[in-house]
Structure 1
Amino acid sequence: MVVTSTTKFSEDYDRASELKAFDESKAGVKGLVDAGVSKVPRMFIQPPDNLRTCNTQFNFPVIDLHGMDNDPIRRKEIVEMVREASETWCFFTVVNHGIPVSVLEEMMDGARRFYEQDNEVKEFYTRDRTRKVVYNSNFDLYVSKATNWRDTFYCVMAPHPLNPQELPATCRDILMEYKEQVMRLGLKLLELMSEAIGLNPNHLKDRDCAEGLAILCHYYPACPQPELTMGTTKHSDNNFLTILLQDQIGGLQVLHQDQCVDVPPEPGALVINVGELLQLITNDRFKSVEHRVLANRRGPRVSVACFFRCGLISFSIKN
């Protein structure tokens, strides 16, 4: 992208004041869109290197988990597919994973309901990362070089049980249900990954890889100039495992063979990726790779990311 006169830094640009005003509005990126913004505010414009596009023809791995619990031969096939995907792509999609489509759809609807509230959403807005329930826009707002076109609501669901009354009424019931469903799936995936490195199925679980769980609901409003900004800049996850539910708009890309590859949305499917801690304890057998989310004229895009982590390890809100 060629930086034009409209995107150059000007000597009189006061980024700190723009960030402060944005933060104090407690309305996030959605608030800008609701106000009718027609151009991306200066604070969101990304450096050209962050905006490079890639045209690729890769087939992203999709793993069918049907039969993993009651067919030993099929389980061995699935373990091998998990091993190959975790060593080469570090990302893969799973289908027939056991979470009902109705639960997935309600989880997405619950996330949308939260953001589509009027002023009620602001009562959860905070930059206090010690809280169990947090809503804000860009966890690194005041230190990043450019702001992402994304708002985030997250809740820490484990290891310490969360009082359901602390959760927003708009998505309280489904968050509690989704927590139970995704925890069961996470444990099954850790079993498969343990077997994939030749160990006892309980090895990773016994090392507390699923002790902590945080659920992050991301909201990417439609962007008037997606070529100037990003939904989420490239990063890797500092956890053990991420289970991602995304809608059908798309935009998630993973770095594979030095190219950005689209992770295509698939109804009823979940995206799995290896975190930095899992790379560490598998001695680099499984790797955590960088990924990003593009901004889009369509929207809002909604995704729900579940981070499995140690109970005492803090994490950065990305994905």
Structure 2
Amino acid sequence: MSVCYKQSIMDYEPPLLEAYKTLLQSSSHKRMKNVKSTSSILSKVLESSGEVPVIDLGRLNSTDHLEREDCMKEIIEAAKQWGFFQVVNHGISQHLLQQLLLEEIKVFHRPFADKSQQFSTTTHYKWGNPFASNPRQLLWSEAFHISVPLGQTNMGDDQPKCLRSIIEAFASKVAALAEMLAEILSHELNIKSSYFRERCLPNTSFLRLNRYPPCPIPKQVFGFLPHTDSTFLSIVYQDQVGGLQLMRDGKWLGVKPNPHALLVNIGDLFQALSNGAYRSIKHRVVAAKKEERFSAAYFYRPSNDAVIESHGTPRLYRSFTFREYIQQNEKDLKQTGDKVGLSRFLYVQ
């Protein structure tokens, strides 16, 4: 039985260790120095796990005007001070979220050969980092990037019907949630309420299903490297394993999972739009030695031609289209291995 179990695991695991073997063996002395440094950092972070603000969105439906106003103020303040916040009573049922997680586990536990060859028409399967040029760029994760809404595309007979219907239900509800939060945040900036409806069309956002496999070398790699999101907002549902960390006051803070909450974070576009008032915070995922971790992230993005213009004086960022921003990020990643991000679009003082 144990042999069959091991074989089934090998069937669905992406060959991360094999793909990274040469890179990990190169410059081993330098890598060992990084291992000690990373180990020290991770131990400190995991001892200081904490709670980002938790906001009860049910108050937005209150008949008490002051209660609604207080809830909106909390959202705005969290975007300014933290860049991250959790929301409960968000309108997405626990049953739907649990179904999404169960179906996600099923699809990631399909044989690797199937995952890497199927879902190609509307869903892009990715694993690791094929462009890594040094050990610090290694990713211990796999993901499905799914275009939404699914009704506009043909996903093929190989797409599990149950997963499709759950993704459609989740994407529909989380899209409405993202639009509502964006409008609350834009009101503080004196931006018209139709701003996001005009720019974030139904087919411009996408969903990413993430799996972080057990990692035999958790002190040498990350599940996902430190980064900021190139979006207006990201909304994440995660399991209870933990591993997500955000940068706060120059230190990495572990985010304690909340089974009833969705995690919301401000992206680069909202930081630029708000002229720096809202914060797009660097975050990462650490690798775990024995446990696999799952999450589903919805990225609220505009069309490629949408112009992002800072609202504030003096303007910190020059105007740019979303296409320009993505192209610049891709160029930087190819040339340096890192995303430079918003600093490329700062006005020269």
TM-score (norm 2): 0.72
2:94 maps to which of 95, 101, 114? 101
**Distance in structure 1 (CA, Å) of the matches to 2:270 and 2:12:** 33
Q: Which residue of 2 aligns with 1:239?
A: 231
Deviation at 1:162, TM superposition (A): 2.8
Which blocks of at least 5 consecutive residues in structure 1 are unaligned? 1-26
Q: Which residue of 1 aligns with 2:134?
A: 145
Q: Which residue of 1 aligns with 2:71?
A: 78
Deviation at 1:197, TM superposition (A): 3.3
Cα 1:174–1:59 shift into 2, 3 Å: closer
Q: What does the per-residue CA deviation read over 1:130-184, in whole Å, with 9 as the maximum and x for residues that have no partner?
A: x63100213x422453321101111121599333547721621111111111111
Deviation at 1:237, TM superposition (A): 0.5
Q: Which residue of 1 aligns with 2:165?
A: 173
**Distance in structure 1 (CA, Å) of the matches to 2:209 and 2:24:** 20
Q: What does the per-residue CA deviation read over 1:57-108, in whole Å, with 9 as the maximum and x for residues that have no partner?
A: 7542111111213433222111111111101110111111000011111111
User: Aligned with 1:107: secondary structure?
Assistant: helix
Cα 1:167–1:99 shift into 2, 3 Å: farther
Q: Which residue of 2 aligns with 1:88?
A: 81
Cα 1:159–1:84 shift into 2, 3 Å: farther
**Contact 2:218 2:286 (8 Å CA) reproduced:** yes
Cα 1:28–1:161 shift into 2, 3 Å: farther
1:31 maps to which of 14, 23, 26? 14
TM-score (norm 1): 0.78
Identity fraction in percent: 24
**Distance in structure 2 (CA, Å) of the matches to 1:115 and 1:213:** 22
- Higher fraction of helix: 2
Cα 1:176–1:125 shift into 2, 3 Å: closer
Q: Which residue of 1 aligns with 2:182?
A: 190
Greater relative contact order structure (CA < 8 Å, 6+ sep): 1
**Distance in structure 2 (CA, Å) of the matches to 1:123 and 1:211:** 24
**Contact 1:28 1:136 (8 Å CA) reproduced:** no
**Distance in structure 1 (CA, Å) of the matches to 2:265 and 2:237:** 12
Cα 1:109–1:159 shift into 2, 3 Å: closer
For this pair of structures, how many residues does the alignment match? 283
**Distance in structure 2 (CA, Å) of the matches to 1:201 and 1:167:** 40
Letter in 2 for 1:142: F
Letter in 1 for 2:175: M
User: Aligned with 1:226: secondary structure?
Assistant: coil
Letter in 1 for 2:116: K
Deviation at 1:291, TM superposition (A): 0.2
**Distance in structure 2 (CA, Å) of the matches to 1:309 and 1:160:** 19
Letter in 2 for 1:214: F
Q: Does 1:283 align with 2:266?
A: no
Deviation at 1:199, TM superposition (A): 4.4
User: Aligned with 1:66: secondary structure?
Assistant: helix
Q: Does 1:135 align with 2:107?
A: no
**Contact 1:79 1:196 (8 Å CA) reproduced:** no
Deviation at 1:212, TM superposition (A): 1.7
**Distance in structure 2 (CA, Å) of the matches to 1:153 and 1:309:** 17
User: Aligned with 2:61: secondary structure?
Assistant: coil
RMSD of the alignment, in Å? 3.2
Q: Does 1:266 align with 2:258?
A: yes
Deviation at 1:281, TM superposition (A): 1.0
User: Aligned with 1:239: secondary structure?
Assistant: coil
